[in-house]
Structure 1
C-alpha cells in the first residue's frame, strides 16, 4: 500500500502505541503543523493535535482504528467519505466522530483547497460515551454542528491538551484528559440528542464563566448575547431552571469555595476575584449560600 513520503505529526501517520497500524494512504504534500502531537501517557488514551492542509491532503484507513477519531473543522472545508454514502463536506463548526474500526476516508475539499482542523484520537472512559452520542451520519460515523462559541472553546481545550503534555509536567496526562473532557462537555451543549441551550444564552454563560470578577446585570449580559434583557431572563428561567443572576451567584460561590479550599488567598482577595468588591457583603452572600462564613469554611476544609 503506498504511503506518504513524509513523516508528519498528525492523526494519520503517528502510532504511539500501535493502535493506528492500519494501511494508510496519504497525499505526499501533507503539511501538519510542527509540534501538533500530544500523547497523554503510557496508556495513550488521548492523542490531540492540529492540521492545516492544502488540496492534496487525503487519508484512507479501510479498517479504521481501534479508537475514536474526532475531526473538528476550524476553517476551510474537508470532505468525508463513508461506506455506502456519498461524500459529505465539512465547514467551520462541523465535527465528525468516527467510531472504532469504522473505515476512514477524509481529506481537504479540492474545491476549497484548504482544511484547518483540530483532531483527537480517544479511548473514552465509559462515562464519556454519552458525550459522543451525536447524530449518526452513516454507520460508524457521527456528525455534530456547533456554533462559534463552542467551536472556540473546543479549539482552546484541544490546544491546551497538546500544550500541557508537551510541557512535560508529571500531571500532563491527567490535565490533557481534563481538557478533552471539557471539549466534549461543551460539544454536548449543542447535541440535538439532548436538550440544547439557546446559542445566545450559551454565549452569555461562557462570558460569565470567564469574567466572574466583573459586575454583571441582566441588562449588560443581554448585550453580550445580542438579545433583550426580558428575553434573556426568560431563556435563563426556561433552560436553567433558575434566574440568570441566581446562576451567576452560584458560579461565583463555586469559585469562592475552590479558592478557599485550594489557596491561602485572603478572603478580601477571593471576594474581589468572585465579583464582590466589598468583602463584608461577600461574606454575607457566602454564608447565605453555604451556611457558614468563608473563614469557617476554610477551617473546616483544611
Structure 2
C-alpha cells in the first residue's frame, strides 16, 4: 500500500460458468486522478458498488438527483439505469469497487438486500472496510475454480454489509446535501446562499465551514465546478453558440465564461467542443 488507507491500484475478474463476459464477479482499486468525466449518462451491464477512498465528485441518477461524493461515500452503478459521475480531476480520486453479474444482483434486490432506491450514501472511511475490499481482490486473484462459489458469497456479503440503513439515509439528508442539490439545479447562480441559509434557520458562517470540511472546497468554488460541469455537458451534447451557453450559465459575457472555463479545464470552450 502507498498509504495506510490507500491500497495500490489493482483489478481482477473471474468468470462464473460458461456464459457471456458479464456473468462474472470482480473487484479492484482504481486511481482516476486527472479524470473529469468518469461516466456520462451510461447504462451499465453489471451491478457495481464503488467506495470512495480519495477525491471529490458528483453522482447524478437518471431522475436528475445529485449527490456530492467525497471519501467514505459509496454509490451504485445499477444495471440498465442511466447515471453520470463527474470527478474533480485535481482531487486525486481513488476508489475500491466490486462487481456482480445481473443475475446475482437481481436475487439480492428481490430480497431487498440491495437497495436500488438509494444509489449513493455515506458509509464512512474505515481501514477495516478498505481491507475487506483488498482481501476480496487477493482471494479472487489466487483462488482455484472450486473456491469461486465461496468467494462469490464473500463478494455478496460485502455488497450487503455496505448497504445503507434506510432510516439513517433519511436522517442524513442534511443541509449540505440540500445545498449541493440547490446549487446543482441553479448553474446560473441565482440562489444566494446567505438568503438560503436564513430561510433554513442556519448560521451561514457555520454552514460555510461545515461545507468546506465536508467537500474540501467553499460553496462558491463548488458552484463554479457545477457550472463548468453543466458547460461541458452543453458543449458535448448541443450545438448552442458559446454566447448562448455563457448567458444560460449566468456569465456577464462570453469572454468571462471562456476565461473561467479555460482556467478550470485547461483549454477554451471551442477547443473542448472540437475534441
TM tier, smaller: 0.3 to 0.5
What is the TM-score when the length of structure 1 is the normalising length?
0.44
- Greater relative contact order (CA < 8 Å, ≥ 6 in sequence): 2
- TM-score, normalised to structure 2, is 0.47
